[in-house]
Structure 1
Amino acid sequence: MATFAPSQQDVAELFDGEDKPVSRNDNLKLTDDEQNESRLIPFSIELLDKIFEYSYYLEDEAKKQQKRMRNIDNLSSVNSVFYCLSLKYRYRYCVFIRSNMFYRFLLTLMSGPQNGLGRFVQTLDFQEFTSVGLGRSSAMMLEIQDLTERTILQCLRLTPNLRQFLASESIEDDISTDIVDYLFNSMPLLECLDFCGSSGFKFANAFDSLPCVNLNDSLQRLSFHDCTDLSPATFRKILPGLHNLQRLDLTHTRVSAKDLMQALSNDCRLTHLSLSKCSNIGATHEFIRLLVNHRAINHDGLLWLNLQNEYSVAILKAETITYLLQSLKCHNLKYLNLNGYSEVCQSHLNIITRKFLQLKSLSISHLEHGSDLSALKQLLYLKYADLSSYMATKGELYNALLSLPEGLQTAEIKVSVSDVLPDVFVVGNKYWRCHNAGGQSRRVWVHRVDSYEEAELYDNFYDNKIFFNIETGERYDGEFKRPSFLKYASRKINCSKFQHHRPDEEIFPNGMSERGLYRYYSLHK
């Protein structure tokens, strides 16, 4: 069914009475008929709710794309009681790919605020959103009022229990000061906020015009990954009030170490921090002082630290790297990225392998040639290593793979090296496969496989062929294997919450939390 942009009259009618209060009661209320019908079901409402929750989070490894609503659709068709219970999960995680989807969703919420559907919404996800295509020009998109700063703000007002707002560069021009102010100051349950890739004058001005940020104890995860146009004053304004912040991604922003030292609250305890590619970070001594002396950073709870450098002049030299590694108290570190520092050498490798025994992902791409990689065998949990500049030739790659830990799943290599490698090769009786996400990525990895047959299953993951069961007629994805090892290669902090009861994915991202533009910034840029 085609969906048309609303007329100006429709928009005016849509926003009549937009300030009506919305009930915040999250309890499910059944009608009299539904209550009578529920008596025929030999389970309590609480138990039925658990059944829905289990179905919602149930994953099928045989599916390339998780279709969580399929389970909910099946359950909701049982009777009116099941349908009523299904609403809680149907509206919990809302993903928008195009503006007309968002508009239909907003119309549903506004069609009758008394039904309170907005109270079930916990996530607004725009990471796969795109406003291009369908033969529309930029001028045409400006005339379509499906998704604007006004409709986004109205949606926020109708979703008082929102816990995650995952924006992206596709809606950067629709983020206004009112939206930013509402997100930071009027949503008491908001835990995760991500503006990945957003930039431009209008987006930056929305934060510059923000009057203030009140004390906020609910926000735990904040990402300005690649928000290059935000002014330093923005961080000085926002960060002081975030006392429970746990994850902070400031990759490729204009933040300085001096500002962070003053603005970052001493009450928070960061578990994830990324200061990668921050060209305005300041002098070396200010940077080291921040990392070593700030209580929010240098503590045993820090699990993820990304300090990647991509500039010709590295702020950290050999002596400062030594001092930093020796001074860090984060013995439970799982992820460490020191890419781009050409003075990383054997002594640093020895400190890392002696001090950070819990590491699962280690990126030291410019490790000094001649270093003994066998030291990495002390890292029993290591799954991923980026030694791309160290392994500059095919021979160096083969020698390095023989020296790496037995449990290593994948290693990043240069594109030039992958050009001379077969798709599958053998080193020391172990099979390795080249992987570049079906040609989508600027990065290339080699990873362990058990056989040539298994390697083909990874190839099938990016194959768009459609298969049908000849007996049942059911469509399926064919045989494939998911490249789950890529979660250790991510360079973007995952600021969304979705999976449950998976400790490893509390640290590293998964296929649900990184899609679309988030996946591009994480793995392919």
Structure 2
Amino acid sequence: MQRKAFVKDRTTGGKLKSMPDLAENASNSRVIPPEIVYQILTFQFRDLMSNDYPGNPEKFTENFRTFVRSNLTVNKTFYHVCRVLIYRYCNLTTARRFHNLLEALRQNERVRNIVQVADFQELTSIGLGRSGEMNKMIKNLTNETLSEFLELTKSNLREFLACEHIQDDLDANIVYQLLRPGTVLSVLDFCGCSGAKFTESCIAALERLYRYDELKQQYVTNEENYQVTCLGLNDCTDLPSPVLGRILQMLPELQKLDLGHTSIDDETLMNSLPHLKNLTHLSLSMCLRLSPRGVLEFFSHHPALTDENNLKTLEWLNLYSMPHSSSWTSVHTMFLLKKLCQFGHNKTLQYLNLGGMPFHESDDPSAFKSTYYYQCSDTLQFIKYNFPKLKCLSIRGNNFPITKICDFLKPVSIQNFAGKNGQEIDEHDLPQVQQLKFLNISNNVHVNKWTINDPGLFTSSQSLVALEVSFDAWQQVEKSNERHEIIALRYKNPDSIIKDTADAEIVKWRCYIDSSYGRRYWLHRVDEYLNPADLEKKGNISKYDSNGNKIIEITKQPDFLKFAQSKIMLGCGIVPLSAVRRKECYRDLNPPISHFFTRSGNATLGQAPTPILGPRLPPGGWRVLHHNEEENGGTSDVIPEEDEEDDGDESTNDMRDSFASYENPELSPAYASDRIGSRNGLYWDRSMQNLQLRSQEEPPAFSSPSRQSQLQLHQAPEGISEVEETDDEYLNDTSLQRRRSQLSILGLAFSHPAVSQRCNDRASSGSLVIPLRKPKNYYQLHPQEFVFDTKSSETTKLYRIHFELVSEYEVFGCIERGMYRYYGLKT
């Protein structure tokens, strides 16, 4: 019997409806390509796996079963696509499920390349009636089976997300397999793993990864791991600080580092942390052994944060500390913020958690512009003026009055700024408008049950979508009415004495709580798409259509919860929303020309990528410095411009021969050095344009043989690993596909002389409508400029929301289930 697949109908409020037509047409593979079926099922799989109902612990299993039963038995194409989706992300909630997965990998060798994520964050034995000894006897999940799983999936496993329930099964061999170089594992998370056994395993594994250097009188790494870009050690409290330092020293390419609630000290932070040139996410929250002096020295002198040649600056920073046990002062906090501004982190930070740190308050609102920042005496106003891209701010434990918080949320006023001589500055010199979306003001004595109804908290900012408050204030809103909401009016002129209620905008805020996250209480602004008000009503009633098919309501958690997370979201999610995050984390990701077929037409289930064994080169290009021009104070650039041809320069020929000598074993290096010259040198010039980008933009049809030989001449040496674009990646790039289609359509038409003259006449008269090409990801960075349909503002609004979500996903991730949600949102 042929089963019916389901697809999400956007016109019915996010309901899954049957699509028998697609199932019938898909029986013939020539009608619908498998890539289209893959995209449709990917959206459905993401919606079902993110469905938060039914409200029981087995909701993942039930949603997973719904997806499999709806699509797996439709036809061969659906079966092939479903296997790719369900094996790519392995959410292992029980030891029995892990045993079944391991059996499938043993019996079917082809599906081993599909597995990319091993997620053990929801794995637990609670409620199964088993003790720890019984689990060891059953041996569904032990160190032997886990080691076998890593061996079978080592060719394509990208993420390994552990939890505290498997910490005793992570022996020295498994830790060694996870940390050793030569694999494609890019995301590694030991969240919650602690205990004496796990510590001994880490120490034993590091003994195999390090060797003792007698000259330096210290242990040095055998080989660095350049593949791992995300490391999570959140809540690994029992790992000693020297062990943490040795783990960090062998991972020089980290982009996301979570050291929250660990035993790291000042010495390890300053001297053992390598020069991380790509660091964007950093968490040092609840590190009780870190002193304010050590943290300030780290942000003032460590090259990972102070080197101007770093490729990235911070986007996510968590420095939460205990207010009663820390020795931070308001002077320390202001010094830290100024250091962030001095090295450019304030221009990119979107998440900043300064909970527990003291702030300096001042009634003087004036400010003036200095070299690196807008100087003012009030710490909260300093954040407002100097961190324009901030979307989430936590000032938990600070007792700011309601008026101070409302002034912080209001737009920047020109009256508060002055020039160097006390004169007001121009509007162009004002700081950018802050787009804050989440503000944590819990444990504030001024925000209580008597002041929570102040409308200024809910109407001062146009962008604010959520507030985190204390229990007393939250409970007051919950008990105020049956809907548990606050209705406020936003006036066009809030500072005027006479307010017109007719033109006021109605703003609704609502209470939200989930008992599984601990004692955290939120108020969120109600909207139709991301933070709805009827979450409790959805998913509890079964509905059917006129044909008797069950309608599945997709109910997600409110979107503001991603800003409330205190733990770094390291992974890319069940189904990635954007390829940018995967490329940043995996780095060597080269999508195939087809997810299901090879060039010869055979079925495929993935391909094994090549691990990265060397550091990434900075943007730029190769240059040759000649001895005769070096004496004259000049340099010779052997990389010509796009329009230049090979003029037969002797230096170019000599360089080509030199590279050929290294490729040919019969030619010795001494011969090559004679041809180049004793003082010639090859170096990487960062001031140049990236050669790969230039070569991609050039049409292959107009590339001359001499030009191609010159481009091949300046490839990176074998000892340096560099990600190059392959023909598969080129063919799979959607922007290039659109460009090729436009060239193929317009190129033939405009090549005719009569058509060209007619187009020129229309262009001169202004009637030719050919839109200017925008840079890549332009509308993702400027969603307010995008217009999809002038007749339908609702559709345009949905597209703009999508652009904003994709942009936020790169920094915050998404609201995931399991331990990410628990550790990220717990108290």
TM-score, scaled relative to structure 1: 0.83
Contact 1:199 / 1:228 at 8 angstroms: preserved in 2? yes
Q: Deviations over 1:367-409 (max 9, x none)?
A: 3434722133345311100112334312333335156412100
Residue 42 of structure 1: how far off its partner (Å): 2.4
Q: Please name the residue that 2:447 is paired with.
A: 392
Q: Deviations over 1:44-64 (max 9, x none)?
A: 9xx524642552245448943
Match of 2:144 among 141, 150, 168: 150
Amino acid at match of 2:320: Q
Residue 186 of structure 1: how far off its partner (Å): 5.2
Q: Please name the residue that 1:446 is paired with.
A: 523
Seen in structure 2, the aligned counterparts of structure 1 residues 71 and 438 have a Cα distance that, compared at 3 Å, is same
Contact 1:64 / 1:477 at 8 angstroms: preserved in 2? no
Bigger mean CA deviation after superposition, 301-310 or 57-66: 57-66
Q: Distance in 2 between matches of 1:433 and 1:54?
A: 34
Q: Please name the residue that 2:563 is paired with.
A: 488
Structure of greater Rg: 2
What count of residue pairs does the alignment treat as equivalent?
477
Q: Are 1:349 and 2:390 matched, yes or no?
A: no
Q: Distance in 2 between matches of 1:258 and 1:57?
A: 48
Q: Please name the residue that 1:284 is paired with.
A: 292
Residue 77 of structure 1: how far off its partner (Å): 3.4
Residue 316 of structure 1: how far off its partner (Å): 2.4
Residue 145 of structure 1: how far off its partner (Å): 0.2
Amino acid at match of 1:377: K
Q: Please name the residue that 1:266 is paired with.
A: 275
Seen in structure 2, the aligned counterparts of structure 1 residues 255 and 319 have a Cα distance that, compared at 3 Å, is same
Q: Please name the residue that 1:21 is paired with.
A: none
Amino acid at match of 2:811: I
Residue 518 of structure 1: how far off its partner (Å): 2.0
Three-state SS of the structure 2 residue aligned to 1:103 is helix
Match of 2:120 among 97, 112, 126: 126
Seen in structure 2, the aligned counterparts of structure 1 residues 83 and 456 have a Cα distance that, compared at 3 Å, is closer
Bigger mean CA deviation after superposition, 470-479 or 244-253: 470-479
Q: Are 1:500 and 2:556 matched, yes or no?
A: no
Identify the structure with bigger relative contact order (alpha carbons < 8 Å, sequence gap 6+): 2
Seen in structure 2, the aligned counterparts of structure 1 residues 130 and 402 have a Cα distance that, compared at 3 Å, is closer
Q: Deviations over 1:423-443 (max 9, x none)?
A: 212334532211112575310
Q: Are 1:136 and 2:130 matched, yes or no?
A: yes
Contact 1:466 / 1:478 at 8 angstroms: preserved in 2? no
Instruction: Trace 1:404-419 onto structure 2 (pairs within 5 A).
Output: 404-419=460-475
Q: Distance in 2 between matches of 1:276 and 1:54?
A: 41
Bigger mean CA deviation after superposition, 434-443 or 128-137: 434-443
Seen in structure 2, the aligned counterparts of structure 1 residues 249 and 450 have a Cα distance that, compared at 3 Å, is closer
Contact 1:384 / 1:410 at 8 angstroms: preserved in 2? yes
Q: Are 1:523 and 2:825 matched, yes or no?
A: yes
Contact 2:232 / 2:258 at 8 angstroms: preserved in 1? yes
Contact 2:37 / 2:81 at 8 angstroms: preserved in 1? no
Contact 1:208 / 1:231 at 8 angstroms: preserved in 2? no
Three-state SS of the structure 2 residue aligned to 1:108 is helix
Q: Distance in 2 between matches of 1:459 and 1:171?
A: 34
Contact 2:359 / 2:380 at 8 angstroms: preserved in 1? no
Q: Deviations over 1:14-68 (max 9, x none)?
A: xxxxxxxxxxxxxxxxxxxxxxxx9973279xx5246425522454489436847
**RMSD between aligned alpha carbons?**
2.9
Amino acid at match of 1:100: R
Residue 80 of structure 1: how far off its partner (Å): 3.8
Bigger mean CA deviation after superposition, 175-184 or 103-112: 103-112
Three-state SS of the structure 2 residue aligned to 1:396 is coil
Residue 78 of structure 1: how far off its partner (Å): 4.5
Q: Please name the residue that 1:437 is paired with.
A: 514
Q: Distance in 1 between matches of 2:39 and 2:532?
A: 35
Residue 175 of structure 1: how far off its partner (Å): 0.8
Three-state SS of the structure 2 residue aligned to 1:406 is coil
Q: Are 1:168 and 2:163 matched, yes or no?
A: yes
Structure 1, gaps ≥5 residues long: 1-37
Instruction: Trace 1:288-303 onto structure 2 (pairs within 5 A).
Output: 288-298=296-306, 301-303=313-315
Three-state SS of the structure 1 residue aligned to 2:148 is helix
Bigger mean CA deviation after superposition, 301-310 or 197-206: 197-206
Q: Distance in 1 between matches of 2:541 and 2:94?
A: 24
Q: Deviations over 1:194-252 (max 9, x none)?
A: 11111111112211222226311111111011111111122111111212110001110
Q: Please name the residue that 1:313 is paired with.
A: 325
Q: Please name the residue that 1:106 is paired with.
A: 102
Q: Please name the residue that 2:349 is paired with.
A: 333
Amino acid at match of 1:397: I
Contact 1:63 / 1:476 at 8 angstroms: preserved in 2? no
Amino acid at match of 1:110: R
Contact 1:344 / 1:364 at 8 angstroms: preserved in 2? no
Residue 327 of structure 1: how far off its partner (Å): 1.2
Q: Are 1:42 and 2:30 matched, yes or no?
A: yes
Q: Please name the residue that 1:425 is paired with.
A: 486
Three-state SS of the structure 1 residue aligned to 2:477 is coil
Seen in structure 2, the aligned counterparts of structure 1 residues 482 and 186 have a Cα distance that, compared at 3 Å, is same
Bigger mean CA deviation after superposition, 466-475 or 199-208: 466-475
Seen in structure 2, the aligned counterparts of structure 1 residues 81 and 509 have a Cα distance that, compared at 3 Å, is closer
Q: Distance in 2 between matches of 1:439 and 1:190?
A: 31
Q: Please name the residue that 1:20 is paired with.
A: none
Q: Are 1:469 and 2:485 matched, yes or no?
A: no
Contact 1:277 / 1:311 at 8 angstroms: preserved in 2? no
Bigger mean CA deviation after superposition, 173-182 or 264-273: 264-273
Contact 1:457 / 1:480 at 8 angstroms: preserved in 2? no
Three-state SS of the structure 2 residue aligned to 1:251 is coil
Q: Deviations over 1:162-201 (max 9, x none)?
A: 0000111111111111111001115521111111111111
Match of 1:375 among 408, 424, 431: 408
Bigger mean CA deviation after superposition, 137-146 or 303-312: 137-146
Q: Distance in 2 between matches of 1:269 and 1:364?
A: 27
Amino acid at match of 1:355: N
Seen in structure 2, the aligned counterparts of structure 1 residues 196 and 404 have a Cα distance that, compared at 3 Å, is farther
Q: Deviations over 1:139-175 (max 9, x none)?
A: 3223220001111110000002100001111111111
Bigger mean CA deviation after superposition, 467-476 or 442-451: 467-476
Three-state SS of the structure 2 residue aligned to 1:305 is strand
Match of 1:52 among 38, 42, 45: 38
Three-state SS of the structure 2 residue aligned to 1:229 is coil
Amino acid at match of 1:385: L
Structure 2, gaps ≥5 residues long: 1-25, 54-59, 210-220, 363-377, 412-432, 479-483, 490-505, 579-805
Q: Distance in 2 between matches of 1:71 and 1:403?
A: 42
Seen in structure 2, the aligned counterparts of structure 1 residues 273 and 404 have a Cα distance that, compared at 3 Å, is farther
Amino acid at match of 2:292: T
Amino acid at match of 2:79: Y
Three-state SS of the structure 2 residue aligned to 1:255 is coil
Q: Please name the residue that 1:13 is paired with.
A: none
Three-state SS of the structure 1 residue aligned to 2:408 is helix
Seen in structure 2, the aligned counterparts of structure 1 residues 430 and 187 have a Cα distance that, compared at 3 Å, is same
Bigger mean CA deviation after superposition, 152-161 or 83-92: 83-92
Match of 1:232 among 228, 241, 252: 241
